[in-house]
Structure 1
């Protein structure tokens, strides 16, 4: 049988020039024409793209053998691409929560960060995680800061540092590639916190329009529990205990049956918690119609509550019509910036003003960290003045004597 004809081409790799050819369908690389005698090597594949990848690795190995680069530099050269590193990291954390896996919401949020980061690296010629060094991290952070809030910049840069650490721990990057850049966590928040007067106006506005009564119920639920809209949307009558006066916010990720059925509810804090039922909330709940689906709150036409739809209706039919009543000073965060999450801040602030302890508020909000309570708590000038006026610094009689 006649041998297949060689098809050769000269390829200039990073360190050497190779004659690249096929023999009997298998690809070879011949480096004997270089200054250093590199020999002839079978690349062990019939696939051209795979052969070119193996040629790249062969070129790197020969460069180490002949002292052109160090073994440490070779490790850097073999680092995963930006896209591959992200893919491996997300695959790792997309596992059962018992093994430390992230929630579907977190995976989705990280996916958005990945898309942004991969595209930015492509634009700036950064191909691998070895090239994404401290200087690249700083530069990326500066670009983020031009269009994102400080808290977003902090969270995204922290995530990139975490991926870098993960790649090193899995021997995909050398230890010398570790990102050391310290990051300062931003304090405070841009989330607007309503006043009691504003919340009353929001609810009243919805009550006055029969098409928005369903939304008034939801707003009261948010204001009186501090629950996230996703948690309130998933609240079931089985979670409401009128006898004990408590609402259970359920995290059901440990239920195999509910996970398989796709009905498992989760909380951001990964644990269930309970919230006392305020008397006014009890009155609201008692008056709601119980529907066969078992959920407490429903949308305008009686269907499931969808967070995105609720937000759109809230902005269009409530915030925008009331903006003139509660004008926002130019350049400030005000009523017009209020959103559904603002009710969680409002709940925390009102509980604080009402005398609830930090421990109680942490439990009701579902936070383990006291700093998060501080993040949610807002104290308005009039609230501070009212609290100050209630404090006694001198005995009343002594105060009169000294006047």
Structure 2
């Protein structure tokens, strides 16, 4: 098969591409690189002109402040349009999200229609904020979610502009149009599978692919100090509950000044981010989750102890009897207690790290996951 993957937010599509290629398929990936993260892509629609030069960037920012219009969205759609003539003879196309091109919804629909005229087999991946997911979270039926800070303080609404946009009329129209014009919906983890099913959608649940051939497992060695890593993405700071980690780290640094070293980074390109967290034994990923995002999975594959989603629903789904990560709750005392246990019992870091790697190899192997995608594309969830 010749497969087109559109969009990249986490390296999910890159790893899926690697698995599909290993199975003998031809794969082309289009993306913007996701801003500062700079993920690999075969063809890019990154807004290089408006983001890469001082004067255009200044004009863009002024226009946005005056009108709320984001010119980068227009540049992405133009660059995507110019790529269309090169996109020929594909057997399947998958979108990473209903906003895979990261442009205005009406332009997304125009460009999707042009792509879909050429490619008859299509799938939509649910691996982040999406219309039914946000609709469900707004019902407040779960104990906590990425919207919890917004529920607790409505003055934070501007910080939730990205997830809440999916409930607006134009974004909802795009999602509904895609449901009508794709054969499959695929959910990448429990944080999306559960809401989609609660909102009445049938989805193929396929865990994130992780290429363990590229990620070397290193049994954790405890030296003079245990290294704790916190990588901050400023745009998702609040919805990932990073403030809880920061408060917990302040207490831990005072309590174990001679036993720990802390690395905190912000808005780093993917390659730099990975390089810096390699020295850590413990990685603080996110609060408000039932499952693991991509950064957490890669850290687990390296044998690190990751604070992320890992509660009862997750443990039950995978039939796990022992912890393969630390379930990070929105509770500073809980985080401090979990960190303190690991610092005082460093052998637990080694044990959990080994379990984490074994879990990734069993449930997230990129070739096995690629096979699951191929099977899903031949089995409709949307009739």
Q: TM-score, normalised by structure 2?
A: 0.20
TM-score by length of 1: 0.20
Which structure is higher in strand share? 2
Q: Which has the larger radius of gyration?
A: 1
